[in-house]
Amino acid sequence: MAISHGQESGVIQSEEKRTARRIRIREQFPLGMISLSLLLPFLLVTGWETAVRFGWTDSHLLPAPSAILQTIWAMGADGSLWQHTGITLYRIFWGFIWGTIIAVVLGSIVGMSRKAETFFDPTIQAIRAIPSLAWVPLFILWLGIGEGAKITLIAVGVFFPVYLNTIGGIQSVDRKLIEVGRVYGLSTFALVKRIILPASLPSFLVGLRSGLGLGWMFVVAAELMGASEGLGYLLVMGQNTLRPDTILASIILFAILGKITDTFLKKLQKRALHWQDKVIQK
């Protein structure tokens, strides 16, 4: 039986829809990529467990992953895990927010003005070279050992990557685009909204992820400032009580939480930059 042109078009469209649906499913649930990303951690944990079980390493200095999981499970059962994790996330959140806000404001001013760059940037770059632990005694002297000092220290760590990437993103905008905008009579606000902001967004989002990563590093120094809660406090407690399982449990929790928060920002970055052309390597 002959197939009409309309029926043939309908079959082709149905096949295209099925193909597009399969592609969307693969993109949303990339099982192969997930399996590949978990392969290296699985091999490392398996080798670690095997080395401890066969006595190739001293279990008193390097406990087995199963022992560390038991420690995390015990802290979860008595509620201390959620208390320490919650306060650390609270400090990271507010330090990240305040560091980002100040970095965006100051970075935008410096990126848009040569005079502002000459005035502000040399001093900021000199401050950036100061190690994180060098701020601890000063913040304790100024702010005490409360939450303000800890959040301020984290904000300092977040500030610099966001600041640098904000400036870099703004200064890398093609000046021809700005000139075209001015030719069309766009105001300064319209230039920022329609040209500068979209063009500098990729660099800014990279700065957010870098700032968050540095914030997780600074939170350890922050929680050394007289803290009685937090994952950094668990590190100190494990050292003082000679409990390497507690120390490693805290380190693993830092790694897991850091990865989760970075994944959230990565998804935000992907959604915000969906218009970019990407080269996918299989």
Domains of the chain: 89-272 (1.10.3720.10)
Q: What confidence score (pLDDT) does residue 202 get?
A: 86
Residue 196 is given by DSSP the state I
Tens digit of each residue's pLDDT (9 = 90 or more) over 96-105 = 999 999 999 9
Count of beta carbons in the 10 Å neighbourhood of residue 136 = 18
* Residue scoring higher pLDDT (191 or 268): 268
Q: What confidence score (pLDDT) does residue 160 get?
A: 93
> Would you place residue 280 in the very low, low, confident or very high pLDDT band (cuts 50, 70, 90)?
very low
What does the block give as tokens for 200?
């500098």
How far apart CA 93 and CA 264 sit, in angstroms, is 13
| Nearest Cα residue to 152 out of 177, 164, 165, 135 | 135
Tens digit of each residue's pLDDT (9 = 90 or more) over 154-178 = 999 999 999 999 998 888 887 787 7
| Nearest Cα residue to 189 out of 112, 243, 90 | 112
Given a cut of 90, is residue 92 above it in pLDDT?
Answer: yes
Q: What confidence score (pLDDT) does residue 30 get?
A: 56
Residue 162 and residue 208 in contact, taking contact as beta carbons nearer than 8 Å: yes
Burial of 71 (0-12, 13-18, 19+ CB in 10 A): buried
What does the block give as tokens for 197?
């902001």
The average pLDDT across 79-87 equals 89
Q: What confidence score (pLDDT) does residue 282 get?
A: 46
What is the signed CA dihedral for 126, 131, 135, 136, rounded to 10 degrees? 180
Average pLDDT, the chain: 81
How far apart CA 85 and CA 71 sit, in angstroms, is 14
Q: What confidence score (pLDDT) does residue 21 get?
A: 60
Q: In a 3-state reduction of DSSP, which class is residue 279?
A: coil
Given a cut of 80, is residue 27 above it in pLDDT?
Answer: no
Residues of the chain above pLDDT 90, percent: 22
Measured at the CA of 53, the angle between CA 52 and CA 59, to 5 degrees, comes to: 40
Residue 159 and residue 133 in contact, taking contact as beta carbons nearer than 8 Å: no
Q: What confidence score (pLDDT) does residue 14 get?
A: 59
Given a cut of 50, is residue 194 above it in pLDDT?
Answer: yes
Q: Model-level pTM?
A: 0.79
Residue 56 is given by DSSP the state S
Given a cut of 50, is residue 151 above it in pLDDT?
Answer: yes
Residues of the chain above pLDDT 70, percent: 85
Q: What confidence score (pLDDT) does residue 216 get?
A: 92
Phi, psi of 242, deg, nearest 5: 55, 50
How far apart CA 211 and CA 6 sit, in angstroms, is 56
| Nearest Cα residue to 215 out of 119, 128, 96 | 96
How far apart CA 154 and CA 214 sit, in angstroms, is 8
Tens digit of each residue's pLDDT (9 = 90 or more) over 249-268 = 999 999 999 999 998 988 88
How far apart CA 230 and CA 233 sit, in angstroms, is 5
How far apart CA 262 and CA 212 sit, in angstroms, is 7
